[in-house]
Structure 1
């Protein structure tokens, strides 16, 4: 019988000692639980005892972000203080009015104009609304500065309404900026007075409901309102974050618990296995408060799920071994003692290699990624301690007396008997299977290198949410919500006609790109003015426009001009080639006009230029982690050969998941970066448990393939159980409304499934083929 021959190495003695001292286990449990409770309630009790250090906040980074936000709208911080440039965007909230969505009417009817004006007046009267900017706010677009509004009176005749439609839809400050080309989508940009904001509803639902109630009182009006913009989108992401955190954790944990009950067929074993990672999650979330990392956007969902994955994997392996020892006739305390000594070192090794994968993220340039890596390291450490504390204590409790109940009757035991012949088939054809495994793994790895970086600013939104739906509608109807600019500087007092030539070439360049929405600058203003003449004559007309309008795009004393355009939330990958073409075009224009400097600016442009840094972080982190993990396995197993063999089953799941992303048209985003990092830890865990049992069986001697079969029999049940339970838990995210959550669930399930495939079929073939030098040890 395997398992009867005790090992006497340092690791085994250490874990024997731990199993024999329940007092130490209770002390650790009490101390860690107390610290976690303090972290949840009042972390200052601990943090105040630590000497203060120099503030690490990057003020310059905040300033840079502020500068980039100002780049969203041309002229930010570049005009004299006594002139406020007119902006066709910039509202903290954006009310999107859709006119007669199911019909053919547009804004240019008396009832709709009356309704929109009353809505604007009603919103302006709300205490939390500081200002309302819409079509009626556009300054007089004439050469004489005459007062008047762009829109006609509510009582205008049909002819006047039609003329107004043509006038508005030819005005560059209106069409594509505040109203869609078909006249059926109208924007109101709302400035917020935060002194009167007492709840989230004050800047979301209260505004929309006020607009709806006003419009509903006017006969013949068919208007639908949605609220989007920076504030509603931010609040929606925050609310989704909290809601998804609770929902997905409850669903995931429930599914994992139900799966464990079905698989173990024993209530006692399930309770002990479930409590261990749950305690690890509580300890982790409590400890993060001491590090002030609880607000990292990944901590409420990904870190708890990850900690559960790691903890459940080790708990199942440990419990399967203890149950087998218990079923062999040993008393529960001795069974737990033997099980901990036999599996404890493998659990320590899996936690170490998983932590290495996350430690590599600490060298990332992206702050969120660095914090996420640190949180995961804390979580892995807490989970390892919780598993080795809770499970032996649970075995000593009354639950431990019935641990062996259900052993041999679970669904996994039946499936294991079916997989056994498949493993035998693999061992008989080890050369072919090993060669195919190596070839396929490296082929998938090469395909995965085609992954391109991407980032969608609002990819984490629930697509059923109001702010997200309005954002997608703006992408289609007006070319997007976000602005970027082409900034123009000249170094000497240049001829204004040359400036107009430069701006004309920029306009032509932007107009050639389908994804660039509605460019607006000096060129568009001049083109809309009446009259003819050469460039210099037309530039003089600009002086007749209101200062707020002229200085929105032209500041001659600063030698500055700009052209703004809209950007859709399609992801940076979609804009990579257009931005590259625009930059090449701008460089060409600058070469033809050496006195001018041209720059592509804006948040979207900044993300495009810096998103590749995330790819560098990922490649560096994963590469470093893989090398270090290989070195750790080589040292622990004292065999370069075993270390090399472990590469294929660990690389295969990552390469397979990345290939799936390539073939499905996905890109490398923040969520996929985090999932890949998780994959490193998950993929290596089962491999370590298999290799640890393999080396133990080698010490017992026998034919090499028989040793592999015994190793598979020893850990096969745990491998199948952990995979089924974890896939069931992660699968809960697939039905989520958030794209990021769905992608996280799909990638996690695929990685776990392919990791099982690699460890059950590929690893035995690799061991059989390349570890034959140890054919008859013992």
Structure 2
């Protein structure tokens, strides 16, 4: 029988392995608590847990919204809003003639009878739908004239070709129309729909029902040839949520199936695979139920990141534990004693891997953003639940009827043959330990320095399926109208400011925004006055303000509040693309404010908010990785009682992250939340394998012998589990590569690359580092 050191931890694990009633009691107790969490967490929460109150998330509304709303109420005027619809119906005139020829009644735009008649019928019919409260499109734009005459920008459907040409010129010269409700080429029109939520009884009522109704109405007009797509805040939210939930279920199902099949092929034993698979599955089930006791279930990372993280960490520990148990069976022990020895030998490593991973995630609790803080605590809870499940399910499974067949497949694993091939490689590494060790240190440092070039980034809808209708419409709007989202430059002034200076400042703001190619179609009081006929100085043109319709003035100008605003369109290109643009705008605003000290200017809106705060969120995650690395080094140093071993562990843990980060730099990617989350997941797995290797190495040191032989025995003891977990996990993560969402593909590619390089680091770099810098037991 393999002798296990009689340490305190060894005795504790022996006791745990010898008391199945304690394991079963824990299994039942935690399962019942998880079920209560799924059904009604308040039963336990109200009794034992005081409801935790969290700070409100940082407000994302600009001063413009509050000020404009207050001003509008004061003047009893509803401001005219170019945007603001719950849904946006994107209508395109499609080419209607072959070989690029124009149709008989004009070019392919809305300034022809068929298209205009169809779009008017669509607007009228949509407004009659019960779930649609109002429709804003070109026909609703107030007239810009000096006499206040009512009328529409668009001509009658029976207008002559000359009248259509005149209308085209009028519309495309109107700042309220071009770039706002119609594209500069006249081929795309936006219709903003406000919903009556009392009648929105399903997701389809706010998305597909609207599009299908529009298509049906337009189909009645021959030669209209219109295409309809639904996007906007509500459809994007619904389609993102649906895509997120669908992809989460699909990728997890595919990933877990691939991992199960891979494990079955590698283990060559169904009983071992079932026990190994159940342990992390129970951990995921427990975790998602327990999160509800702390109101953490709605964190956006929870549906994919947390389950994948804890299942991967749990699977790693399960495989290491099961491989050791099967090895003991191969030595002739019965299942009961093999489980006892296996838990005693690997249990401490499992506890250490969970401890280091959990401590690393605790560092997220100091993050600035609530989402990141909660994500950290979710991971901590998940890792602890998974540790309990592994140490409970594995020994119980070995005592169950499944345990009788654990020996099936022993010696027939595909890994055993590969391990024999890798053995000589390890020998070669040990013979060239000096060169490999210094190459490992130098390459890790070089790769880490390269990673510093990564810039934080976020695309608002990068997680959505590219095939989704709302995503396609969003990309189309980026090209045709400069984006769906708006930003604002808010201007406030004191009571001594003249109208001349105000209009001069607003003109400078418009000029500043117009000089930026990524900023689309600035619109404010300056643009409205400039579009009115006539010439003159700023003071003279300011007198024309009274001729504008009240709802237009209130949209951009509130004199009683000393407030004005200029809006602009923003594409969904990511904050990394807009970072330099926003920096130049803020610099220009600062100079303008310095030249006009009685004014206060601010860049506001969701896009600038994300630009400022996504750096904080991503940097929080990145800093947590750095903190986790330091904490892991400290923990390993204390546990192994060796500063040298702690320092040696840095290279195999840092190398995979640095290599993957360098790949991102080379491929032109940025540091996004999804990429940092992949790093967070993979560093936990990489550390797990390193800890298992070092724990076995420390144990083999106690048996003595040549130091190179000690390293070889350590590799032989854990090498099979290292290869097995890496192959299974890479197979599972590669399932996301075939997804149609960019974030999912990036997740799969990065995860697979990080795990592959982590295996390389543990098989090649770690033995060389141990051989070179931990040569004799006396020097440890």
Fold shared by both chains (TM-score > 0.5): yes
Deviation at 1:34, TM superposition (A): 1.2
* Alignment map for 1:127-206 (pairs within 5 Å): 127-206=130-209
CA distance in 1, matches of 2:405, 2:747: 37
Distance 1:84 1:324, change over 3 A: same
| Partner SS state of residue 48, structure 1 | helix
Residues 1:91 and 2:85 are matched in the alignment: yes
Name the residue aligned to 2:68: 75
Number of matched pairs: 770
1:73-108, Cα deviation, whole Å (9 max, x unpaired): 993444334111111111111000011157651001
The one of 601, 604, 608 equivalent to 2:604 is 601
Residues 1:339 and 2:342 are matched in the alignment: yes
1:74, 1:564 within 8 Å by CA — same for their partners in 2?
Answer: no
1:3-59, Cα deviation, whole Å (9 max, x unpaired): 723210011111111111111111111111111111122222211213645x72435
| Partner SS state of residue 142, structure 1 | coil
The one of 211, 216, 231 equivalent to 2:214 is 211
CA distance in 2, matches of 1:201, 1:776: 69
CA distance in 1, matches of 2:209, 2:70: 32
Q: Which moved more, 1:371-380 or 1:754-763?
A: 371-380
Name the residue aligned to 2:447: 444
1:74, 1:485 within 8 Å by CA — same for their partners in 2?
Answer: no
Name the residue aligned to 2:26: 28
The one of 708, 716, 721 equivalent to 1:713 is 716
CA distance in 1, matches of 2:229, 2:502: 40
| Partner SS state of residue 669, structure 2 | coil
CA distance in 1, matches of 2:666, 2:435: 27
2:686, 2:755 within 8 Å by CA — same for their partners in 1?
Answer: yes
The one of 27, 47, 50 equivalent to 2:48 is 50
2:622, 2:676 within 8 Å by CA — same for their partners in 1?
Answer: no
Distance 1:130 1:57, change over 3 A: farther
Unpaired segments ≥5 residues, structure 1: none
| Partner SS state of residue 49, structure 1 | helix
Q: Which moved more, 1:355-364 or 1:73-82?
A: 73-82
CA distance in 2, matches of 1:708, 1:282: 38
Name the residue aligned to 1:41: 39
1:704, 1:776 within 8 Å by CA — same for their partners in 2?
Answer: no
Residues 1:390 and 2:388 are matched in the alignment: no
Unpaired segments ≥5 residues, structure 2: 98-106
1:746-775, Cα deviation, whole Å (9 max, x unpaired): 111111111100000000000000001327
RMSD, aligned CA: 1.6
1:303, 1:379 within 8 Å by CA — same for their partners in 2?
Answer: yes
Deviation at 1:71, TM superposition (A): 4.2
Deviation at 1:276, TM superposition (A): 1.0
Name the residue aligned to 2:103: none
| Partner SS state of residue 172, structure 1 | coil
1:357, 1:680 within 8 Å by CA — same for their partners in 2?
Answer: no
2:67, 2:561 within 8 Å by CA — same for their partners in 1?
Answer: no
Name the residue aligned to 1:553: 556
2:236, 2:470 within 8 Å by CA — same for their partners in 1?
Answer: yes
Deviation at 1:253, TM superposition (A): 0.6
* Alignment map for 1:428-577 (pairs within 5 Å): 428-577=431-580
CA distance in 1, matches of 2:259, 2:15: 32
Deviation at 1:616, TM superposition (A): 3.5
2:372, 2:621 within 8 Å by CA — same for their partners in 1?
Answer: no
Name the residue aligned to 1:317: 320
| Partner SS state of residue 237, structure 1 | helix
Name the residue aligned to 2:424: 421
The one of 717, 734, 737 equivalent to 2:737 is 734
1:357, 1:677 within 8 Å by CA — same for their partners in 2?
Answer: no
Deviation at 1:593, TM superposition (A): 2.1
1:152, 1:161 within 8 Å by CA — same for their partners in 2?
Answer: yes
1:179, 1:185 within 8 Å by CA — same for their partners in 2?
Answer: yes
Residues 1:286 and 2:279 are matched in the alignment: no
1:322, 1:335 within 8 Å by CA — same for their partners in 2?
Answer: yes
| Partner SS state of residue 155, structure 2 | coil
1:72, 1:602 within 8 Å by CA — same for their partners in 2?
Answer: no
1:73, 1:89 within 8 Å by CA — same for their partners in 2?
Answer: no
CA distance in 2, matches of 1:773, 1:459: 52
CA distance in 2, matches of 1:582, 1:387: 54
Moved over 3 A (4+): 70-79, 101-104
CA distance in 1, matches of 2:149, 2:129: 30
CA distance in 1, matches of 2:765, 2:563: 64
CA distance in 1, matches of 2:445, 2:738: 32
CA distance in 2, matches of 1:247, 1:623: 32
| Partner SS state of residue 146, structure 1 | coil
| Partner SS state of residue 776, structure 2 | helix
Deviation at 1:721, TM superposition (A): 0.1
1:73, 1:483 within 8 Å by CA — same for their partners in 2?
Answer: no
Distance 1:311 1:736, change over 3 A: same
Residues 1:758 and 2:761 are matched in the alignment: yes
CA distance in 2, matches of 1:253, 1:78: 56
| Partner SS state of residue 716, structure 1 | helix
Deviation at 1:197, TM superposition (A): 1.1
2:64, 2:565 within 8 Å by CA — same for their partners in 1?
Answer: no
Deviation at 1:431, TM superposition (A): 0.4
| Partner SS state of residue 533, structure 1 | coil
CA distance in 2, matches of 1:393, 1:237: 41
2:71, 2:560 within 8 Å by CA — same for their partners in 1?
Answer: no
| Partner SS state of residue 565, structure 2 | strand
CA distance in 1, matches of 2:77, 2:742: 43
What TM-score does the superposition give when structure 1 sets the normalisation length?
A: 0.97
CA distance in 2, matches of 1:354, 1:433: 28
Residues 1:236 and 2:239 are matched in the alignment: yes
Deviation at 1:369, TM superposition (A): 1.2
CA distance in 2, matches of 1:309, 1:47: 29
